[in-house]
């Protein structure tokens, strides 16, 4: 399957496979999360023992806790991405392959 990439106006690059992963997760879980929105978090260590290490997490947050300026559409799915996570993900590729999310430079 070819890697179809998209650049979001906020600077994040994502593959069609990642967008499909988000859509599938939302469809499967939204019934147990009424009034909530998927939240994508990303942390990258800049210094210290873990310098260069990074972590991502996908969770659910209340629609009321997610300001409009932090809501973004990736493919067909609206997600909350905090400003710090957007900075960390800027010009990085979010991809879904072999059952896991991969963040590439």
For residue range 8-53, what is the model confidence (pLDDT) as tens digits?
988 899 999 999 999 999 999 999 999 999 999 998 777 778 777 7
| Overall average pLDDT of the 65-89 stretch | 93
The C-alpha atoms of residue 23 and residue 16 are separated, in whole angstroms, by: 11
Tally the domains of the chain.
1
Question: Which range has the top average pLDDT, 8-12, 64-68, 79-83?
Answer: 79-83
Q: Look up the domain containing 11 and give its range.
A: 5-104
- 1 pLDDT more than 70: no
CATH of the domain at 63: 2.60.300.12
The chain-wide mean pLDDT, for the chain, equals 91
When pLDDT is cut at 50, 70 and 90, the band that residue 66 belongs to is confident
């Amino acid at each position: 399957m070819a890697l179809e990439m998209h650049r979001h106006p906020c600077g994040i690059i994502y593959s069609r496979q990642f967008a499909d992963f988000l859509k599938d997760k939302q469809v499967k879980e939204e019934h147990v999360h009424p009034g909530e929105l998927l939240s994508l978090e990303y942390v990258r260590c800049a210094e210290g023992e873990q310098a260069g290490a990074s972590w991502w997490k996908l969770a659910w947050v209340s629609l009321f806790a997610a300001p409009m300026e932090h809501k973004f559409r990736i493919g067909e799915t609206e997600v909350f991405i905090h400003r710090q996570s957007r900075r960390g993900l800027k010009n990085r590729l979010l991809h879904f392959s072999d059952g896991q999310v991969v963040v590439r430079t």
